[in-house]
Chain A
Amino acid sequence: MMTLSETAVAGPSFELTEEQRMLQDMVRDFATSTLAPRAAAYDRSCEFPHDNVKEMAELGLLGVTVPDTYGGAGMDTLAYTIVIEEIAKACASTAVIAAVQNSLVNFPLMKFGTEEQKKKYLPKLASGELIGAYSLTEPGSGSDAVAMQTRVRKEGNKYILNGTKVFVTNATGAELFIVYATLDPELKSKGVCAFIIEKNYPGFSVGRHEEMMGVRASGTSELILDNCEVPLENLLGTEGEGFKIALATLDVGRLGIAAQAIGIAQACLDYSLGYAQERKQFGKAIATFQLIQNKLVEMAVNIDAARMLLWRAAWLRERGQNFTKEASMAKLFASETAMKAGIEAVQVLGGYGYTKDYPVERYFRDAKITQIYEGTAEVQKIVIARHLTNPA
């Protein structure tokens, strides 16, 4: 069986390996039969989908790229993006939960964690025994992460953290949190540290649950750190290395969000295409009208282009090359594709698309966040522009 890294010698492959195809089929079956029927109810109730998460864990989808020595599936980046895309086609909330676990929690632990930290946490994360969350954003520091105000100080044999974090995906369902804090805001990026925090540490609590327009079941909440005590050994990386960890994590995270966006866009296309072939007006299926065909074609072309951008970024990463620009490009293009597809899917269904009897209005609401989290579309453009004007 060829793996991606073997085929990569000659260039990127447009074909999935047998292993990746089997994974895609398996996740697609699971998402269609199990996640899709629950998606509307979770969207409505905003409850954290514990059953979805448990079943994903059983299929190994919460540790896709974690090496098998740590209990993971040991697969590559492309496999990971396939998993997220397939889940997002059925339920965008569940997809972001899986994306956070895989790319924002497992990844920084694998890359920057000590052997002890990896042994302690990775097997439990990969098996779903622990659900993870990631916490960088603060009320006054969104796109501008360096402006963070959450403080950390060392006191005896522990770190003490104080501050408030917002928009923490998975927070209501998670037991383990990667949290950033600064030794001193004056130090700017050099003062940032990353910590591994267990839910039961003194001074740690989950605050207000956000009611959001989309990805409503993603457990997004505030975190409150009130003299939160963290053992010294739970510093991730070294003191002051946090900003570097955050940036590296965001590169990987953007692949997950791009995959989520592509999944949402594909769901929009699939549903619109089916509807347009069924729905008759003026005596003909509306799919025979040029204006409707135009929408379906635009969706299909953009989705394919987005997927190719994503696969290129995944391929670069597997080769160990810098993929920051390519991850930003994939995330930017995929999220714009998802938003456009959401808009047009509602339009194809017309009045019916505006109701909750059909899933497309949910796709439309879910699509918007992909242009905002892991860096807004505007931030992606800044990242890309920097690489264009200062090539490495």
Chain B
Amino acid sequence: MRSYAAALAWEFWRRHRWGLAILVIYLAALLVFAAVMGTTDPSPARMALLASVVGTAAIPLVAAYMLVLVVFSFGSQADLASRESIYPGRMLTLPVRTAALTFWPMFYGTVAAASLWLIVARFVFWPCGMELPLVWPALLAASFLAWTQVVMWMPYPLPLLRAFAAVVLLGVLLVTPQLAIQLAVPDGVIAAVLAPSLPLAYVAACVAVGRARRGDVPDWRWLLALPRRIAESRTRRKADFTSPARAQVWFEWRRHGRSLPFIVGILLPFALLLLFIADSDMPDVVLNTLAGVCFLPPFMAGFAATTVSKANPYVRDYYGVPPFTGTRPLTSAGLVAAKLEMAAWSTLAAWLLVLIATPLALTLSGQWPVITNAVQSWLAVESPLRVAVITVLIGLGLVAFTWKQLVQNLYVGLTGREWFVKLTVFVGLAILALVLPIGKWVYDHEQVRASFRDLLPWLAGIAVGLKASAVVWIVRGLRRRRLLRDRTLVTIGTCWLICFVCLLGLLLWLVPARLAPWYLLALGAALILPLARPAAAPLALAWNRHR
């Protein structure tokens, strides 16, 4: 290995070999499936079915592309909020020209991103009857990656500016081709527009890496001096924490609590922008936009959740509990409780933003009549009480769902085992890759759908049985390690049962018996209410904290 290019290629492979190997296996499985199924019976009905199944099986490709983005932009363990470039400092001191330091990661990344699309489109989608364009999506994938590298490697004058730049720049890059498709712009023109963005990205990346190399980080923090002084004076006036638990909640809030409101706050204006674009005769667009806004916090909570259990990136063991946290005189259950409470505050803050911004946007865009009409239409078929209860329930359900999204996989990160985190992601994606095509196939076939409906209570029963077994195992672990007192366990169990009874009562009142029998609703309620995974969090943390 005598060249920088070879050494860098080896480092990418060595460091991310498991993720990249899984990606290769997944691609190979898709290719084999397409090769075997695509040629046996080319009748239109079969090809349509195949296209539908392959289309859903390819959804994890998004995750594969995200992996490529993270690997080649050096973003896996970076502090995205910092002002400094995230280009690895150790590489900046190598005796290599800046142009080469920039070129090779960008070359490998863009080739990988474009190849991913070209292989899947040409050898998976095409044989299955999905004649998708090759060139411009490959160029888009490469451009998106190159500009992500620019955004990541550039030093910024203010903290968090990188996140804002990413949303704006990459949003433009994603939206422009979609607009072009809507406006029926020929593929060649889209490709011609995208192609020059690659050399432009290279030039911008050279500037970014060059500045990072010189330690040239512009400093505009004076702009924040006044708000910071106000914030600091408020902080200084604050009384002492009343208990260790309060202090820990504050700690968690400062570390992770602001992520979700921040993400929602950045994306919300873009989501609400459609209200201003939609005409008064497009009620569907307005209602769909509002539905999208309502699902923004729970959807983004899934991403924010990855940071909640993340350990300190500045310590040697990235996944483990940092000694500073591990040596707090607080039980592992207490540390987890602080995270759960912080997640609740984070959820409320994110929803507060939605509740303020949405009525404001409706007022400014003059779209209130659409909402009024929709409510009136609903009142014509349902009683006002039922409408009010369902509205409140949907609202509370979405808030609870957001919180659940933040905390349900807490236990994965808290284990502190890199192999477990990666295995969970892999298993999740594998299940997604299997369940989605099967679900689509079931949905498309009336007979299978009917059989599935008959089987549903049994499947739900098995799932509840598995959940109950997991709960028993977790409770035994919690008791054996004395992580929670029996009284606390009984209180948690009682609260869960009360929630279960309330939810079941509401479902029985709202869902007609002909649609779903009571036992199916009971099984559904038992599955929806979180118990096993949040309860596993103290166990996971104790496993990590006392290795």
**A in complex with B:** no
Binding site for A on B (CB under 8 A): none
Binding site for B on A (CB under 8 A): none
